[in-house]
Structure 1
Amino acid sequence: MSTGAALAADSPLIIGAGPAGCMAAITLARAGAKPTLIDRDAVVGDALCGGFLSWRSAEQLRAIGIDLAELGAHRVERLALYAGDVTAEAALPATGFGLSRHALDTAMRRHAVSSGAKLEIDRIRTLSPQAALGERQEFHARSIFLAAGKHDVRGQARPRQADDPALGLRIRIPPQARLTRLLAGKIELHLFPGGYAGIVCQEDGSANVCLALRKSMLLAAGGNPRVLLDQLAAAHRHFGERLAFAAPDLGVDSIGAVPYGYVAKDTQAGLFRLGDQAAVIPSLAGEGMSIALTSGAMAARHWLDGGAGAATGYQRAMAQAARRPVAVAKLIWEAAESRTLAAPLVRMARLAPWLTNIAMRASRIAG
């Protein structure tokens, strides 16, 4: 590891080149700043979460020159809900999109670099005031933007106090014509006691199946994610029909102890918390990407106005903006994973789809 790189006073350090970090880098660079963007992967991967982008996310991306339709994103016009044999559908307030994180993050990283951000590849191990220790070198900056997604960095971990924490699972089913037709124009939410699954097509016709489930469910399945998925498929007919398209040897990605409902209300001088480091909305709301983009742009604007000293003001403003959508989504999540409330929730959505529309709008973040 090299001794270190000290950045100029006008050079913010951004840890994480996902949507939040890239949005901050683009906003800063286009305003004349010289941000350094650090990511652990030289080749853009495909993060587990964020395969659905709401109409709000699409507007934010369009404003910086990224057109989701041009990236081949799958258009989503409807939400389909399933709880046992109870089903409902409702139109989205506006068109959403299914797009892999590989495609989105690649486009955003390209825009960040072309806008003037410097990209460094390193894995940050420890974060302390004005310093980030990586595997290759140590970076020093008065302003650090923490956009590490759901992964915590040593020295800045978020509190995790749940007795039965949530975990994330994802399985990507390769393109198959019958499944593509089944999912055409919609995103599906399958509700289970203890969790839910979201299913949406992406740009290559594959089906992205993301689940948020209680850790106890995985433990009951012997710690084997595929066994747990097969158990859910056997117990829930509609989900089973979709999972039947997944080959038995198809890999399952996972992430543990996701702190859904967390909102960072404050921060230390010079540290701007972005994306999931600022607020973790339950993924069934489909608003995680918009929160990431909003936080990146908001943090950049605060920094441009006040430098490192603007971190506290930004964090409080971001917490205020995220409070309502996170609270609404958390209430819906608690009902959705309840054995007694999930089916009545879906029946209500079927009888009064306008209520679903209100809930979707209430869980959007204003930026």
Structure 2
Amino acid sequence: MATDPRGGGRGRRAGAPPFPFPALRGEDPLTPPLILGAGPAGCAAAIVLARSGAHPLLVDRDAEAGDVLCGGFLSWATAERLRGLGIDAEALGAHAVERLLLFGSGRPVEIPLPRRAFGLSRKTLDSTLRRQATEAGAEPIVETIRQVNGHHVLGRQREWRPESLFLATGKHDVRGVTRPRPTDDPALGIRLRFRPSATLAKRLAGTIELHLFDGGYAGVVLQEGASANLCLAVRKSLLAEAGGNPVDLLSNLAARHPHFALRLEPGWREGAIETIGAVPYGWSASTTDPGLFRLGDQAAVIPSLAGEGIDIALASGIAAAEAWLQGGPAAAPAFQRKFYESVKDSMRWAGAAWSLAETPAAAHAGLAAARLVPGLIAPLMAATRIA
């Protein structure tokens, strides 16, 4: 049953004022917002909407959150935004991160982080966000969406015609609302989860590592439960050189980069390696149609070395929900443009850092400069945070 978003939804705070956004069709209430994707972006929107009584529908293809490949690092800005939603990363067992270690040619460069960050698996994060959303009043629905055509959403078992659609499907596109895909040597994501030895765990304590190499980079961070997450962003051509086999790619990188080789301990080949293809890093949406709110990676895909992907997801979900509460479906184009403006500089700086990181000569010069002037990286860290 649809809830009138202007009053009395079950997630609404006691004593909250009437909602300021308009109804369509005279005095008819708006239909509940439909959110596709129960990741950080979709759940953040659902929490804000539900706490204001809008009773959103939160649709995901999986009944329970999985351990998604991307987003295992929470920046200090992300942790603060989570606290605003009532979630304490440290209380979830997240691994505290105080410094960044950059590996390339020569000795590594150690850079203190401005504030404490965290390593946390997406399974733990997404499960917590889902719980917050449903407790606030969002209605979870398990369904695989096959196509979106305007305001017609077609699933395998049912369909909807919502007035407002929040697209939060992460790096996976839905037919009918796809993003442009890079055609010239696109980036791929590869992830290996493993349990480190006591020696490696001690080396990784309080640290996130970034290993730079020709055609990509790898991040390594401890997460909750004494697990470790190794995630790479590499060019498709690099994987092709390894015969399309991620195991052989990791072996090749280990042979060329001694520090990286030390992270691949005995038995790593038996671990599950996950991949995701054609990630459109650097893409962002500046326009949209009324009623269609693009969130998270469907709004902006920041290069992962910035460590700001989850914050973009949360910020976009919160901002879209607040825009809807003020203006209903008609608020979507203004929201999209405003969000684009808020992230474009961070995207530009992150893109520049990515280009430097995956180009050996530029990375060598950058690391040499950082060794001489340790504070050189701090402004770049600040520039890749979003407002």
Tell me the TM-score normalised to structure 2 length: 0.91
Two-structure CA RMSD over aligned residues (Å): 1.3
8 Å Cα contact 1:176/1:206 also seen in 2 = no
Provide the rounded CA distance (Å) in 1 between the counterparts of 2:328 and 2:201: 48
Partner residue of 2:380?
359
The answer as to 2:62 corresponding to 1:17 is: no
1:112 aligns with 2:136: no
Residue 282 of structure 1 and its aligned partner are, at CA, apart by 0.2
Q: Secondary structure at the match of 2:226?
A: coil
Contact preservation (8 Å) 2:31, 2:162: no
Deviations 1:270-300 (A, max 9, x none): 1000000000000000000100000000000
* Structure 1 runs not aligned, ≥5 long: none
**Superposed CA offset, 1:330-362 (max 9, x none):** 000000000211111112222222121111011
User: Which string of whole-angstrom CA distances, capped at 9 and with x for unpartnered residues, describes residues 230-263 of structure 1?
Assistant: 1001100100000125522212100000000001
Whole-Å Cα distance in 2 between the matches of residues 316 and 179 of structure 1?
45
For the 8 Å contact 2:2–2:31, the answer to whether it is kept is no
- The equivalent residue for 1:51 is 72
**Contact 1:28 1:35 (8 Å CA) reproduced:** yes
Pairs aligned (count): 362
Residue type at the aligned position of 1:172: R
Q: Are positions 1:260 and 2:274 aligned together? A: no
Counterparts of 2:311 and 2:295 in 1: how far apart (Å)?
Answer: 12
* Pairs within 5 Å for 1:275-314: 275-314=296-335
* Counterpart secondary structure, 1:248: helix
Does residue 364 of structure 2 align to residue 339 of structure 1? no
Q: Secondary structure at the match of 1:29?
A: helix
Secondary structure in 1 aligned to 2:218?
Answer: strand
After superposing the two structures, state which structure 1 stretch, 172-181 or 58-67, moved more.
172-181
What code does the residue aligned with 1:45 have?
Answer: G
Residues 175 and 204 in structure 1, CA contact (< 8 A), matched pair in contact too: no
> Any idea what SS the aligned residue of 1:298 has?
helix
Q: Among residues 345, 354, 358, which one is paired with 1:324 in the alignment?
A: 345
For residues 97 and 10 of structure 1, the distance between their equivalents in structure 2, rounded to whole angstroms, comes to: 38
Secondary structure at 2:268's aligned position in 1? coil
Instruction: Kindly report which structure 2 residues correspond to 1:1-367, keeping only aligned pairs within 5 A, or say none.
Output: 9-366=30-387
Q: C-alpha offsets along residues 181-225 of structure 1, whole Å, 9 cap, x if unaligned?
A: 010001000001000000000001111000000000111101101
Q: Which amino acid aligns with 1:144?
A: L
SS of residue paired to 1:360: helix
Deviations 1:160-198 (A, max 9, x none): 134100000000012421221010001000001000000
Contact 1:165 1:259 in 2 (8 A): yes
Structure with larger Rg: 2
For residues 130 and 204 of structure 2, what CA distance do their matches in structure 1 show? 29
> In 1, Cα distance between the equivalents of 2:2 and 2:90?
40
Q: Distance in 2 between matches of 1:34 and 1:302?
A: 16
Normalising by structure 1, we get a TM-score of 0.96
Gapped runs of 5+ residues in structure 2? 4-28
Whether contact under 8 Å (1:19, 1:108) holds in the other structure is yes
Asked whether the 8 Å contact 1:10–1:34 carries over to 2, the reply is: no
